[in-house]
Amino acid sequence: MYFPVYRPRRLRKSETLRRMVRETKLSPDDFIYPLFVCPGRKVRREIGSMPGVAQLSVDLAVEEAREAHRLGIPAVLLFGIPRKKDLRGTEGYARNGVVQQAIRAIKKEIPGLVVITDVCLCEYTSHGHCGVVVKGDVDNDATLALLSKMALSHAGAGADMVAPSDMMDGRVKAIRETLDKRGFQHLPIMAYAAKHASGFYGPFREAAESTPQFGDRKSYQMDPANAREAIREAALDVQEGADIIMVKPALPYLDIIRAVREQFDLPVAAYSVSGEYSMIKAACREGWLEEERVMMEVLTAIKRAGADLIITYFAKDAARVLGR
Ligand code: PBG
């Protein structure tokens, strides 16, 4: 079927025709909305590098979650900024830690909203690394116990799902075993399976106050150059009991989203990270790009690549566009 018999433009003639043959359709059901929870009451601290995103105290985080729920977004992903940080990230698994409080408050006020928690030590440690530091290096096996403790404390507070983002080897297994032993056999794990050591996390580290105080995360997060290794990482997490596997970042890693989608039959999530958001916000502020258009294009591209779920700071804005 070649020109002039076949003309692809025939089916592009009107919006109605285009709608009929559109292959990828976004829905608010696809989105997970990240929230940064900080101590205090009525606190709203804007993140300079992420316009429209703020650290929120529990009371305001509940309101933000309510708004997301009202827009049809099924889930939020919680990050905590603790009152104080220490070497072992104690506040991360404290009964009354800021995330634990937020889980209880959101589940009480909006029971229908799925509450997912980020399980990682970097927001809670004084050195800003994702695990316990021994002799200047992040000690893998010593970290597993703390991550398990953190996941368990989130579960105990009522979280619907936990999402380990630390990239220690064996953490999904450790968390699964701990949850199962303590009566949380039904709690799903969304594993940050292929998480790369990316420059695009910069603005998040301002939001979560989690910049490493020495060195970088390259000894535990993946090399951005590696795609085959991403499949191995995902395979390990699947074997260890992950229910959802995540690729992160999203936009510069569409090939990896596609590869993971093709290799596994579990739901695939993609984290469109802070730098992806800030990049669009900054260019639009300059008038160089049209925000709504590129936002929807990028989200569509991530879904087209194979993501079932997209973690995005644009969740509310995109849900609004889809709802009109
Ligand atoms: C914590 C974590 C990070 C992100 C999610 N969980 C940052 C990091 O690894 O430094 C990044 C999210 C974003 O950039 O939006 N380990």
- Tens of pLDDT, residue by residue over 44-74, are 999 999 999 999 999 999 999 999 999 999 9
In this predicted model, what pLDDT tens digit does every residue of 284-314 receive, in sequence order? 999 999 999 999 999 999 999 999 999 999 9
Q: Residue 303 catalytic?
A: no
Mean pLDDT (whole number) for 133-160: 96
Strand ranges (E), 18-123: 31-38, 44-46, 54-57, 75-80, 114-119
pTM: 0.97
Average pLDDT of the chain, as a whole number? 97
Q: Does 193 score more than 90 pLDDT?
A: yes
Coil/strand/helix, residue 87: coil
Structure token digits, residue 28: 């608010």
169 band by pLDDT with thresholds 50, 70 and 90: very high
Of all protein residues, whose CA lies closest to atom 7 belonging to ligand 1?
201
Q: Does 202 score more than 90 pLDDT?
A: yes
17: closest CA among 26, 27, 30, 7?
7
244: closest CA among 301, 187, 166, 170?
187
Q: Which residues contact 137 (CB under 8 A, 6 or more apart)?
A: 219
In angstroms, the Cα distances linking 194 to 3, 68, 264 are 43, 27, 13
Q: Residue 173 catalytic?
A: no
Rg of the chain over all Cα atoms, to the nearest angstrom: 20
1 band by pLDDT with thresholds 50, 70 and 90: confident
Q: In whole angstroms, what is the distance from residue 75 CA to residue 28 CA?
A: 10
What are the φ/ψ torsions at residue 152 (nearest 5 degrees)?
-65, -40
> Terminal CA-to-CA distance of the chain, rounded, Å?
38
118 band by pLDDT with thresholds 50, 70 and 90: very high
- Give, for 154, the enclosing helix (H) or strand (E): helix 140-157
Instruction: Tell me the residue type at 225.
Output: A
Instruction: Tell me the residue type at 261.
Output: R
User: Could you tell me if 191 and 163 are in contact, meaning their C-beta atoms sit under 8 angstroms apart?
Assistant: yes
Establish whether residue 76 lines the binding site of ligand 1, counting it when its CB lies within 6 angstroms of any ligand atom.
Answer: no
Out of 107, 195, 281, 303, which one is annotated catalytic? 195
Establish whether residue 124 lines the binding site of ligand 1, counting it when its CB lies within 6 angstroms of any ligand atom.
Answer: no
226 band by pLDDT with thresholds 50, 70 and 90: very high
Establish whether residue 272 lines the binding site of ligand 1, counting it when its CB lies within 6 angstroms of any ligand atom.
Answer: no
Domains in the chain with CATH codes: 25-322 (3.20.20.70)
The pLDDT score that the predictor gives to residue 284 is: 98
Instruction: Tell me the residue type at 308.
Output: D
Mean pLDDT (whole number) for 264-268: 98
Ligand 1 pocket test, pick from 32, 210, 313 with the greatest ligand atom count within 8 Å of Cβ, gives 210
What are the φ/ψ torsions at residue 79 (nearest 5 degrees)?
-120, 145
